[in-house]
Amino acid sequence: MAGFLLVAGIVMGCGGAKGNIHEAAIAGDLHKVKKLVAGGVDINKQGNKKVTPLHVAAYQGNTRHIVLAKWLLANGADLKARDYEGKTPLDVANARGNTEIADVLREGGSGGRSRPLVDGGVGVSEVLDF
């Protein structure tokens, strides 16, 4: 129940509007996240609780979210972003016991260094075999 409330709080904190990057991240909808980022939405956009899409992926931790996290990292997501509790995405993954996504977060990314998206939103993770 606490997990549901946190996820609901993330969506509510971001307005819950259709097309919201946090809502797409909660759903693990990489296609929608790509479209939003290609359309100008900040890949590191923070909601009311300072949660980024990478925090959301780390919290969820399933296969869709692991793929999403890899894409986010390859396209400039900030591993050092801190939520309202001061937690990084890695802290969130570890606290939830999401070891597979925690390993992905430990292994890399750009550390917040932004770079232009390749081919209108296709990330390096889709060109290279991650």
Q: Please give the residue that has the higher pLDDT: either 120 or 99.
A: 99
pLDDT at 47: 87
pLDDT, tens digit, 9 for 90 and up, residues 17-35: 446 999 999 999 999 999 9
Rounded CA gap, 5 and 64, in Å? Answer: 21
Maximum Cα–Cα distance across the chain: 40
pLDDT at 112 over 60: no
- Is CATH 3.10.520.10 the classification given to domain 2-127? no
CA distances from 30 to 1, 12, 21, 48, 91 (A): 25, 20, 10, 22, 22
Q: Which has the minimum average pLDDT: 17-21, 40-44, 48-52, 97-101? A: 17-21
Question: Which pTM was predicted?
Answer: 0.73
Return the domain boundaries, the chain.
Answer: 2-127
pLDDT at 7 over 60: no
pLDDT at 102 over 70: yes
Residue at token pair 């993770």: 125
